[in-house]
Amino acid sequence: MLGSLSGSYIIDALITIIISLSIHEAMHAYVAHALGDTTAQEMGRLSLNPLKHIDPLTTIALPIITLLLFQIPILAAKPVPFNPNRVKYEEFGSALIAAAGPLSNLILAIFGALLIHITTNTTIFNFLDTFVILNVALFIFNILPIPPLDGSRVLYAFAPEPLQEFMQTIEPYGLFIVFALVLTGVLTSFLITLNNDILRLLP
């Protein structure tokens, strides 16, 4: 697996991750601001500037390592802060903020898939191909209902109180749970299958 990924692919993947994660996190901040919370704006996160959102370890190094090892990018940007007490619609407002990030990745994937059909440049085609695949992967990964991933925030808004309490309990260990599921192969095959299914549906 290590030898099957070219240097150009890794560069394309890095560029994609930086662009896509910046938009992902910015959308969290923009939706929070639209719903009445200015916390992200006050902390300089209402921005598309990648330097505001990326973390060298979890946004750059981690996804490259997990791509090489598992074919699945596991990564995290700096979480966008928001105050749920200042957000309209209470838990449902928080769910909208959470959903904005992964939905931005799905939209980016659709946009990239459309551009693929009109480019004749091989370099651009290869980049767009990587861009689409990784944005679909980011969408799928982030909608997993495992705290602290975005999907868990959406589920939390609709979950009964006992499930909400359970999600709060496991949140500090959520990323370790994801790693364990990937390492054991429980999650990897599911993510790859779902990723391929969505790719087939794109234009």
User: Does residue 170 carry a pLDDT above 70?
Assistant: yes
CA nearest neighbour of 36 among 82, 78, 79, 80: 82
pTM: 0.89
Q: Among this protein's residues, is 25 annotated catalytic?
A: yes
Q: Residue 141 is encoded by which pair of tokens?
A: 């990964």
Cα 96 to Cα 94: distance, rounded to the nearest angstrom: 5
Domain range for residue 133? 2-201
Number of domains in the chain: 1
Residue found by looking up tokens 């919370």 in the block: 37
Q: pLDDT tens digits for 42-100?
A: 998 999 998 899 888 888 888 778 777 766 667 778 888 889 889 999 899 999 999 99
pLDDT for residue 112 is more than 80: yes
Over residues 120-167, the pLDDT tens digits come to: 999 999 999 999 999 998 999 899 999 989 999 999 999 999 999 999
Q: Are residues 140 and 198 in contact, defined by beta-carbon separation less than 8 angstroms?
A: yes
Q: Which of 25, 90, 91, 165 is catalytic?
A: 25
**Please, what's the b/e burial string for 16-28 (b: 16 or more CB within 10 A of its CB; e: otherwise)?**
bbbbbbbbbbbbb
Name the band, by pLDDT with cuts 50, 70 and 90, for residue 110: very high
